[in-house]
Amino acid sequence: MEIFTEHVNGIMIHKITIGHIHESGCTGCLAALMDNYQGIFTILDKYADLVYGLTLVDVRKIPKMDVALIEGSVCIQDKLATDEVREVRDKSSVVIAIGGCACSGNITRFDRGGQQNQPQHESFVPVSDLIDVDIFVPACAPTPEALRNVCVMTYLLLRGNDEQKALAGMYLKPLMDLARSPYGSKASFNTLMQEVINLGLCMGCGSCAAACPVRAITMEYGKPQGLRDLCVNCGACFSQCPRSFFDHELMEHHEQIMGMLKAVMQ
């Protein structure tokens, strides 16, 4: 599978434009993106121009862009923040919620306000509570690989040939469905219980236990048990579970897709 790029005097004219929008989060998602090391250079060299990002890009106002990567949840008492996400939605073709805070609230669900010097900032919602979000990349932090994959696939969706567009569409569909589903934005260990275990879908593979960043899940007699007090609401367990979403047709091509991802990152 070949990647479509066009050289004109050494400049890639077909790159997409990407912005990083920082709402209430810990910058861990951005760090995870950087943890692609050389990969982040490849992405920025070949596939995407970073047109917005706090401290990263010297741009004050949110520009028009193809893809907005939003990190963090939104404080509804902070008018600047709520205005900002609305503006992002208006100016971007694709809005991607990266990380637990943006997707499902994550640790900001535990915020009760009272912090100097804005003690009234106490209510934080996932971005999809305020604007339509196109793609979810859950987990705290989201993995470098997941962010890389979504960047590459979004590039292919917007700039690829028909075959690449179809593949990228297939790959991104479950993450788009997650962004629209009623439980995606409310995910926690409870969601794994309610949407998988209680519905007779769990077969005890242990994906949830491996995915949990806080080691809240253990496998007892072959089934997941959660220490819910530890759960940070990142949604990793549910979305990693092969019984949350699994597209047989796509997975059959796992080797080609892995190969393609490797090739484009070189």
By CB under 8 A, what part of segment 21-40 binds other proteins? Answer: 32
Stretch that binds other proteins, among 12-20, 22-30, 48-56, 219-227 (CB under 8 A): 219-227
Residue 160 CB partners (closer than 8 Å, separation 6+): 3, 4, 167, 168
Considering beta carbons, is residue 5 or 225 the nearer one to other proteins?
A: 225
Tokens 């994906």 appear where?
A: 207
Q: Is there binding between residue 76 and other proteins (CB under 8 A)?
A: yes
Task: Give the integer Cα–Cα distance in Å for 171 and 153.
Answer: 7
Considering beta carbons, is residue 48 or 236 the nearer one to other proteins?
A: 236
Task: Give the integer Cα–Cα distance in Å for 93 and 102.
Answer: 18
Considering beta carbons, is residue 58 or 229 the nearer one to other proteins?
A: 229
Taking the complex as a whole, how short is the minimal distance between the CB of residue 13 and other proteins, in angstroms? 30
Q: Is there binding between residue 250 and other proteins (CB under 8 A)?
A: yes
Number of residues that bind other proteins (CB under 8 A): 88
Candidate residues 1, 223, 264, 266; the one interacting with other proteins per rule CB under 8 A = 223
Among 100, 68, 98, 101, which residue's Cα sits nearest to residue 85? 68
Q: Is there binding between residue 145 and other proteins (CB under 8 A)?
A: yes
Q: Is there binding between residue 80 and other proteins (CB under 8 A)?
A: no
Stretch that binds other proteins, among 3-11, 14-22, 40-48, 254-262 (CB under 8 A): 254-262
Conformational region of residue 233, where left means phi above 0, alpha means psi within -120 to 50, and beta covers everything else? left
Task: Give the integer Cα–Cα distance in Å for 239 and 235.
Answer: 6
Taking the complex as a whole, how short is the minimal distance between the CB of residue 171 and other proteins, in angstroms? 7
User: Footprint of other proteins on residues 159-218 (CB under 8 A)?
Assistant: 171, 174-175, 182-183, 186, 188, 190, 193-213
Q: 73: helix, coil or strand?
A: strand
Give the distance from CA 142 to its chain's centroid: 7
Q: Is there binding between residue 227 and other proteins (CB under 8 A)?
A: yes
Q: Is there binding between residue 58 and other proteins (CB under 8 A)?
A: no
DSSP string spanning 99-146?
A: HHHHHH-GGGGG-----TT-TT---EE-GGGTS--SEEE-SSSPPHHH
Task: Give the integer Cα–Cα distance in Å for 158 and 156.
Answer: 5
Candidate residues 149, 154, 157, 168; the one interacting with other proteins per rule CB under 8 A = 149
Q: Is there binding between residue 123 and other proteins (CB under 8 A)?
A: yes
